[in-house]
Chain A
Amino acid sequence: MFSAAILIPAVLNGLLMGAIYALVALGLTLIYGVLHIINFAHGALLSAALFAAFFAFKLLGLDPYVALFLMAPVFFVLGYALQRFVIGPASHGDDRNMLLVTLGIAVIIENALLYNFRGDTRTIDVPYAFQTFNLGVTYLAVPRVVGFVAVFVVALALWLLMTFTDVGRAIRAVAKEKLGAQLVGIDVGHVYAMTFGLGTACVAIAACLLIPTYYVNPGVGNAFVLVAFTIVVLGGMGSVPGAVIGAFVIGVVESLSGLFLGESLGQIGIFLIFIVVLLLRPTGLFGARA
């Protein structure tokens, strides 16, 4: 049972899944880092993005990897609008209200999906879904490897954006010192919305990378986002490297505990990590002390 022939594929698959988790967690941690709230609508937005990718394929015949270039900007605009015109004005600048509003939006999106598409689980058939790379020791599914590489491209693009552009500088300024940023003329509402848009675009990209090997139903995003919460807490809220490293750790832990404990108990393992980290070191492994 502990032979390398079983462990190596499990670890590798955990790393590949971890990459997708990283993308979802990246959006979450970005939003937390700037707005200082947890976006409870993140999971519902992921479900919505998975449905969008599903229908782009079914109705328009768009390959998910092509749809990605369309969906990322669309979801960016959606996220921007949500924060600018709904979450921002509705919460009157109160953090607790903001939490509740994102929860309300999550409930609306999730149930609107349920109402329209019922609880059925759907999948798409792409020709490359079952193609594999032969590594000698094991086989890796092509779509998962594509996802893995794409996540690094997205992370690099995000890093470049944050480091070298005015938007990135403004976002970092607001994250560090909101009042100061406001005083030097940065439009905080705009920066909040930009951040929310970026986080939502991450979710859309994750959905396009996931759909070839995954399924979609109205509640699918929830399971995902609870894992993403764990990752973000583990890596330290607001920390980008923390989110990426945390995602790989969780991906491997999930894969191994699924192997040894079975699927549902494996999930409990993740939650226990989550609760223990929250209770013992709420700032995470990489976060600065609050």
Chain B
Amino acid sequence: MKSFAPTAIVIAVLAAVPLVVQSNATLNFLVVTLMIALAGQGWNILGGYGGQYSFGHAAFFGTGAYVTAILQMRYGVNAWPGFAIGIAAGAALGAVIGALTFRSGLRGSYFALVTLAFAEVLRIVASVAPITGAGVGTLMKLELGARTFQFQSRAAFYWAILALVAVSLVIAELIERSRFGTWLVAVRENEDAASALGVDARKVKTAAMTISGAITAAAGCFYAQYFLFIDSGIAYGTWISVEALLTAIIGGVGTVFGPLAGAIVVKSLGEATRLLIGDAPGLDLIIYGAVLVLVIWIMPRGLIGGFVDVRKFFGRKSVRQVRHG
């Protein structure tokens, strides 16, 4: 049985970063990167392990963000339970969308389309409904303090998002080694065969979508807490659907560390272009799109998969050398 050691080491190393790095800009960059990694891990549970490629994970991100923000601003709910309810709302939405779409047997292109449509409907509703602040968006009150989940120091936010990422990594690990995870992968590889062996594919996929929705919603809740402002274009925009799937695909679908590795690479690339060419609308997304196409083209199993291939390649070579020698 695999141990949790790699996860623990990665988290410990990342947790030490603010002790070395003092720059607010760098910490801000890392916070956003980890937030995207979290959203990507949500996508990865459903898309990577379950093989159901969602093009509308913004639905969960936005729901988490709006629920947290609205509960605090309009109903005076404390930030912590607000955060938890935001996550629960994401899970509930995942369960509902999953139950509806998998009941109809939607797969592949159809599944991608219907998830996209749900995100779009939510975006339009949020852009006109009075409760979300409609076109103006929702601005949250600045009220620093641990009680309100608003920190003066970037490091505190960094540790908070890192804790969430750590939980998501452990969830992915647990899924990987559980019976549920085996079912999920079986459904991904061959749904008909899995069903023939008695796996309730619908239930398994819906459960995966519930977990997936909860994790991506957590990233949305964090976004609201961190930036204290959301509108329909941010919360339910295509950008987050694209970034969530991008990190998982680039890092390696269906691997525990894929989304984290993908987020670091993707965000670093975006930042590097910004430094080299300057800040211009659309530039980072051009790079992301190109990287997406290239990774699928050259490394279909992502960075983690590519890394495993390289290690195997060298491993085999050394065995051969030993034989010949």
Contact = CB atoms under 8 A, between A and B. Distances in A.
A77 to B, nearest CB: 20
Contacts of B133: none
A150 to B, nearest CB: 28
Nearest to B249: A100
Interface stretch (B6-14, B19-27, B122-130, B164-172): B122-130
B120 interface: yes
Contacts of B293: 86, 90, 101, 104-105, 108
A90 B294 CA distance: 7
Interface stretch (A36-44, A125-133, A202-210): A36-44
Interface stretch (A1-9, A135-143, A252-260, A269-277): A269-277
Which of A95, A111, A112, A272 is most buried by chain B, counting CB atoms within 10 A of its CB?
A111
Given A99-B53, A264-B127, A278 B110 contact: yes
Interface in A233-280: 233, 237, 264-265, 267-268, 271-272, 274-275, 278-280
Contacts of A271: 117, 120-121, 124
A32 B109 CA distance: 9
B198 interface: no
A91 interface: yes
Interface stretch (A64-72, A113-121, A160-168): A113-121
B106 A282 contact: yes
B85 interface: no
Interface stretch (B222-230, B280-288, B315-323): B280-288
B248 to A, nearest CB: 11
A213 interface: no
A104 B296 contact: yes
A103 B124 contact: no
Q: Is the interface of B mostly helix, strand, loop or mixed?
A: helix
Contacts of B53: 96, 99-100
Interface in B273-325: 280-283, 285-286, 288-290, 292-294, 296-297, 300
B55 A107 contact: no
Contacts of A90: 293-294, 296-297
A96 B97 CA distance: 20
Contact of B242 (A107, A119, A229): A107
Contacts of A280: 104
B289 A115 contact: no
A226 interface: yes
Given A96-B108, A111-B283, A115-B280, A103 B242 contact: yes
B145 interface: no
A32 B127 CA distance: 32
Contacts of A180: none
A226 B101 CA distance: 18
A114 B238 CA distance: 15
A38 B109 contact: yes
B147 to A, nearest CB: 38
Interface in B231-287: 238, 242, 245, 249, 280-283, 285-286
Contacts of A274: 117
B296 A119 contact: no
A107 B285 contact: yes
Contact of A275 (B55, B118, B127, B280): B118
B185 interface: no
Contact of B113 (A113, A265, A267, A278): A278
Given A90-B296, A115-B283, 13 more contacts: A36-B109, A37-B108, A99-B108, A100-B296, A101-B293, A103-B292, A108-B290, A113-B282, A268-B124, A271-B121, A278-B113, A279-B101, A280-B104
30 contacts: A37-B109, A40-B55, A86-B293, A90-B297, A91-B296, A92-B296, A92-B300, A97-B300, A100-B249, A101-B296, A103-B292, A104-B296, A105-B289, A107-B285, A107-B289, A108-B290, A112-B286, A114-B282, A115-B280, A115-B281, A115-B282, A118-B281, A226-B117, A226-B120, A271-B117, A278-B113, A278-B117, A279-B100, A279-B104, A279-B114
In the complex, the 9 A-B pairs of residues with the closest C-beta atoms, listed nearest first: A107-B289, A111-B282, A114-B282, A108-B289, A104-B292, A90-B297, A104-B293, A111-B285, A115-B282
Interface of B: 51, 53, 55, 100-101, 103-106, 108-110, 112-114, 116-118, 120-121, 124-125, 127-128, 238, 242, 245, 249, 280-283, 285-286, 288-290, 292-294, 296-297, 300
